Amino acid sequence: MSENFPFSNFQELQQWHQGIKDANRNNIFCHCRNCSYEWMDSTFDATCSQCHSQDVETISSWQFPDD
């Protein structure tokens, strides 16, 4: 393990992996600028399933305020 390894210990690495898994849930709000279709997806590179446009606005759900 080199000194450039970005995690100081294994637990930190696990937490980083958990963060990746959390980010992979369908919690990204997508809005197609082409046809206005809206859906939840798991990727910021979403393609609209209705018109196949890649002009999609993506908003992470954790940016929404809690209420």
Question: Which residue of 26, 42, 50, 61 would you call a contact of Zn ion, by CB under 5 A?
Answer: 50
Q: Is residue 15 helix, strand or coil?
A: helix
Q: Is 37 in the site for Zn ion (CB under 5 A)?
A: yes
Q: Is 48 in the site for Zn ion (CB under 5 A)?
A: yes
d(CA 16, CA 13): 5
Among 3, 46, 56, 1, residue whose Cα is nearest residue 24:
46
Q: Which is nearer to Zn ion, 43 or 53 (CB)?
A: 53
Interface ranges with Zn ion (CB under 5 A): 32, 34-35, 37, 48, 50-51, 53
